[in-house]
Chains A and B, each alone.
Chain A
Amino acid sequence: EVQLVESGGGLVQPGGSLRLSCAASGFTFSSYDMHWVRQATGKGLEWVSAIGTAGDTYYPGSVKGRFTISRENAKNSLYLQMDSLRAEDTALYFCARESHSSSSFDYWGQGTLVTVSS
């Protein structure tokens, strides 16, 4: 059974840093592109970052230069290093697996909550 379990969320002050983790199981982690998607309370989904199997990374303009996605295949883990955090980064952060066959997200974790506030 495919499982994605996020951790590392919490309360951080504006300008601070936080590192999220996503533990994957039930599939060959190294063979899949992985993503982070966030959702502010009561709002829609927003794509945050992606990492390919070769370690190539992608970001939208809203987080580029502040967030860094990485992976550690030996530990079946995905990470998101978030620096220079802003109030608008407050959200539930999901990790998601990109399907091989359709480039859509076929599995999602339950999310970890990040709150940026003084």
Chain B
Amino acid sequence: SYELTQPPSVSVSPGQTASITCSGDKLGTKYACWYQQKPGQSPVLVIRQDNKRPSGIPERFSGSNSGNTATLTISGTQAMDEADYYCQAWDSSTVVFGGGTKLTVL
């Protein structure tokens, strides 16, 4: 079955750029999207179709997808961005999530 691999944790200083990767076989041939989940809350879509921001998502969130890796980039990271982030893609007619990355802003 198809798998997406994320680093368990990423740390970033406030104001710096955070990058979270998601790896999967030929992932660049699929669309990747990203969700943010804060403790006790439901996931929120922050990037769709590799690099598109849904309405209401700050411009500091961006995405890319090429080869075997999709990347979520948060520029000028703020304390409020501390959360778990999940990548997601489709493989045939099934949905696959990455294992999630805990972003710590310190």
- Using a CB–CB distance below 8 Å, which chain A residues touch chain B? 35, 37, 44-47, 50, 58, 60-61, 94, 99, 101-106, 108-111
Contact = CB atoms under 8 A, between A and B. Distances in A.
Contacts of B49: 101-102, 104
B42 A50 contact: no
Contacts of A111: 42
Contacts of A60: 1, 94
Interface stretch (B10-18, B20-28, B75-83, B95-103): B95-103
Interface residues of B, number: 25
B86 A44 contact: yes
B33 A61 contact: no
B97 A94 contact: no
A103 B97 contact: no
B54 interface: yes
B100 A103 contact: no
Nearest to A35: B95
Contacts of B100: 44-45
Contacts of B93: 50, 58
A108 B43 contact: yes
Contacts of B1: 60-61
B43 A45 contact: yes
A60 B90 CA distance: 12
